[in-house]
Chains A and B, each alone.
Chain A
Amino acid sequence: DVKVTQSSRYLVKRTGEKVFLECVQDMDHENMFWYRQDPGLGLRLIYFSYDVKMKEKGDIPEGYSVSREKKERFSLILESASTNQTSMYLCASRQGLAGPSSTDTQYFGPGTRLTVL
């Protein structure tokens, strides 16, 4: 089974702190994603990466950056945490590209609930 792990289940940080959220997948997947999930807003894509050192902005990249130095690891960075970044953060991975012939699905980690005070 594919396993996607995230470094912390719960995290409490103060406004202005630099925050690192780590995600590791063990199935050699090409694509990795970071989402945040908020009540009433669903999952929103922050960034994704389709290869080592490659990244693409999602729908809400402002205030975030990412790093992918190794294929299995994708990090989300909050340069200066703010209270409006309090949320559930979900990492996901997928083997190949999306498309009409693809059967690849996304595998999610358990999530990190981040609270910024």
Chain B
Amino acid sequence: SQKIEQNSEALNIQEGKTATLTCNYTNYSPAYLQWYRQDPGRGPVFLLLIRENEKEKRKERLKVTFDTTLKQSLFHITASQPADSATYLCALERAGNMLTFGGGTRLMVKP
């Protein structure tokens, strides 16, 4: 069956460091993958989309990579700030006009 895995354990890093979050998937061949940010008690907010033919995408301090051979996406936040603390979700496009979401990884950036 199709499966998306994100590290369920919180990632704790020091302010200024680069945070790297991982999204692994099996039994998918998604045409694209998306990353969302979710703050406590709020709905997810879209951050970045990367297509299967793109290796890397950047937006300000954010960078996403997409390796269709490894079936993995990495999400990087450079020069992290306490305000980046949130849960980050990856989502894969699947047939039938739908997205499937991973369980999310909580990031804590300490000052």
Within 8 Å of chain A (Cβ to Cβ): is B62?
no
Within the complex, which residue of A4, A41, A100, A106 is in contact with B99, where a contact is CB–CB below 8 Å? A106
Could you tell me the distance in whole angstroms from the C-beta of B28 to the nearest C-beta in chain A? 13
* In the complex, chain B residues whose CB is within 8 Å of the CB of A105: 34, 46, 49
Within 8 Å of chain A (Cβ to Cβ): is B10?
no
- Interface contacts (Cβ under 8 Å), in number, total 61
Name A57's closest neighbour in chain B (CB-CB). B96
Name A45's closest neighbour in chain B (CB-CB). B98
- The proximity string for B residues 63-80 relative to A, scoring 1 for CB distances below 8 Å and 0 otherwise, is 000000000000000000
Given known contacts A99-B31, A107-B46, A111-B43, A42 and B98 CB-to-CB distance under 8 angstroms = no
Within 8 Å of chain B (Cβ to Cβ): is A103?
yes
Chain B interface residues toward A at CB < 8 A: 4, 8, 31-32, 34, 41-46, 49, 51-52, 89, 91, 93, 96-104
